[in-house]
Amino acid sequence: MNNSGPAADPGKRMLRREFLSMRNGLSAADLQEAAGALARRALELPELARARTVAAYVSVGSEPGTLALLDALRERGVRILLPALLPDNDLDWGEYAGEGSLARVRHGGRMALFEPAGERLGPEAVTTADVVLLPGVAVDARGMRLGRGGGSYDRVLARLERAGAHPALVVLLYDTEVVTSLPEEAHDRPVHAVVTPTRVRRFGG
């Protein structure tokens, strides 16, 4: 999911460009292979095995592919919430009912997103999730996530905190995007785990 927008930290902007440039060098075959491996790895997570509701997203462009994972979770009977971008960059949510339930939506000059075509459940719906799968471009050894820069998921994490909700926070990345250290701002919150095509890494006990 593309959350592009102004970022406060110029160091983050530079890193974001570098990671996205590496992604853009991946071939269609690379993307397909990584998506399958990512789904298999993620489905081994105990948090997803127990989950009744998962907030996720539909990957676009060269992001680590999520559709195979969404369909596998749906086959397990998991309720899947997908985001719809609002004009202020906040996120509304709707249910995923298979690939046919998605609408391709372009927000201004941004890359088109795939959003749920059905009923909108409101921004607070994410607080019902047992697991939140987060997009990003990198994560560091502390679990600090570098996002796309629009702040949508910063709002989601703040909303979960205000509601006293404590879902497992999992970011989906490529292997090369797990790094030693990233710049951190006051509003940044760590994730609990990262899943890549070859491994799962957990943070903070």
Q: What is the pTM of this model?
A: 0.90
Closest to 157 (Cα-Cα) out of 128, 189, 129: 189
Q: pLDDT per residue over 188-203, tens digit each?
A: 789 999 999 999 999 9
- At the topology level, CATH places domain 10-202 in Rossmann fold (3.40.50)
How many CB atoms are located within 10 Å of the residue 128 CB?
A: 16
- pLDDT range class, residue 4, cuts 50, 70, 90: very low
Helix (H, G, I), strand (E, B) or coil at 157: helix
- Using CA atoms, how far apart are residues 157 and 176, in angstroms rounded to an integer? 25
Q: Where are the beta strands (DSSP E) in the chain?
A: 53-55, 79-85, 91-95, 102-105, 113-116, 131-134, 138-139, 145-146, 168-172, 193-195, 200-202
Residue 106 predicted with pLDDT over 50: yes
Residue 16 predicted with pLDDT over 50: yes
- Using CA atoms, how far apart are residues 105 and 84, in angstroms rounded to an integer? 9
User: Structural domain boundaries of the chain?
Assistant: 10-202
- Cβ proximity of 170 and 132 under 8 Å: yes
